[in-house]
Amino acid sequence: MTSTSTTERRHAARRAPRGPVVVAASLALVVAAVLVGLFVGGRPTSPVEVLGVLTGNSELELRAIVGEIRLPRTLAAVIAGLGLGLAASLLQTVTRNPVADAGLLGSNAGATVMIAIGMASGFAADFAAQSAWALTGAFVATGLVSVIGLSGRFYSPTRLILFGVALSAVLTGITTGIMLAVPEAFDGMRSWLSGSMVGVPVESASYGAVMVAASLTLAMCIARPLEVTLLGDDLARALGTRLFVTRALAVVAVAIAAATATALVGPIGFVGLIAARAAALAASRLGLSPGCRYILSASLCAALLLGADLVGRVALWPGELPAGIVAAIVGAPFLLWIVRRTRSLT
């Protein structure tokens, strides 16, 4: 009798909805990361001092440090991280590839080369213009990759990945050529290319938040049918899933999220990959829905990218190490570990 009741309780616990708890924990993680971002720096600040800045009851020096320096870069790191984590999680579903991130379909490379063109021509002076260039480049790049990868009678994740990697290499070469031909453009892009959060205005972060929210909304709308595609094309069609439309909308969501993050803080790799894999593992263990997995991946990536920025703030004090470099140092070994543990990438 006792054994039976214990088993029933275990099954009931497994059936209990965990999605709302995970979403709440994810949001709490993002809020905690923002607060830590306001505390940490060359001049440590206490919670009381930060509260004074936020309420307008602080001295001028603290207001400048927290309100004008730390707050904008913290918001930029969080918003860019949300976009990169969402893009990586979507791509790992679309491509069925555990090492996919925003750079796999050429989204980052397309956004980067268009921003380089905009800066070299003088038509990308502010974030709004840079975002327009970045979105154009991301959509063109992902569109080309999608035409190759999603066309034909049979969907091929391998073909999608290979063409994305090849296109990214070509676009990266074009970006390098532009920087060599127009050195002044490189001077303006040096900090941005390294993934630095310094100097991002609050207005730009606010605009980026709207774009990432739009991408997340689209991802939530297609979460269920996109998950069905993992069962195989034939079974997904039998269940009424419109394969091309679903995958195309996923690519659009990826392009918006990746382009926004790239325009905001530069081309940063690995953090989206790490967050998406961690979210996928958690989702499989906890039985989370696809939508919860996307939110968890975005939140984890926001915390990771902000953590990389925090390490960069204090690692070389009084200088700084860009968050993109910190992410590469930590993320590259993680990528190798995943590749070794994964028998098949398709």
Residue 310: the pLDDT is: 85
Which tokens go with 44?
């440590």
Nearest Cα to 92, choosing from 102, 81, 82? 102
Question: Where along the chain do its domains lie?
Answer: 22-341
Residue 156: the pLDDT is: 65
Rounded CA-CA distance 79/213 in Å is 9
Q: Which amino acid is at 294?
A: Y
Contact 274, 141 (CB under 8 A): no
Residue 335: the pLDDT is: 72
Assign 109 to helix, strand or coil.
Answer: helix
Rounded CA-CA distance 143/259 in Å is 13
- Fold designation for 22-341: ABC transporter involved in vitamin B12 uptake, BtuC (1.10.3470)
Residue 220: pLDDT over 90: yes
Residue 298: pLDDT over 90: yes
pLDDT band of residue 42 (cuts 50, 70, 90) is: low
Q: Per residue in 65-110, pLDDT tens?
A: 776 778 888 899 999 999 999 999 998 888 887 777 777 778 888 8
Residue 151: the pLDDT is: 63
DSSP 127-176: HHHHHHHHHHHHHHHHHHHHHHHH-SSS--HHHHHHHHHHHHHHHHHHHH
Q: Per residue in 102-141, pLDDT tens?
A: 777 788 888 889 888 888 887 766 767 777 888 888 888 8
Rounded CA-CA distance 314/329 in Å is 16
DSSP 196-224: --TT--HHHHHHHHHHHHHHHHHHHHHHH
Rounded CA-CA distance 77/72 in Å is 9
In whole angstroms, how far apart are CA 116 and each of 59, 166, 203?
40, 19, 22
14: left (phi > 0), else alpha (psi -120 to 50), else beta?
alpha
pLDDT band of residue 188 (cuts 50, 70, 90) is: low
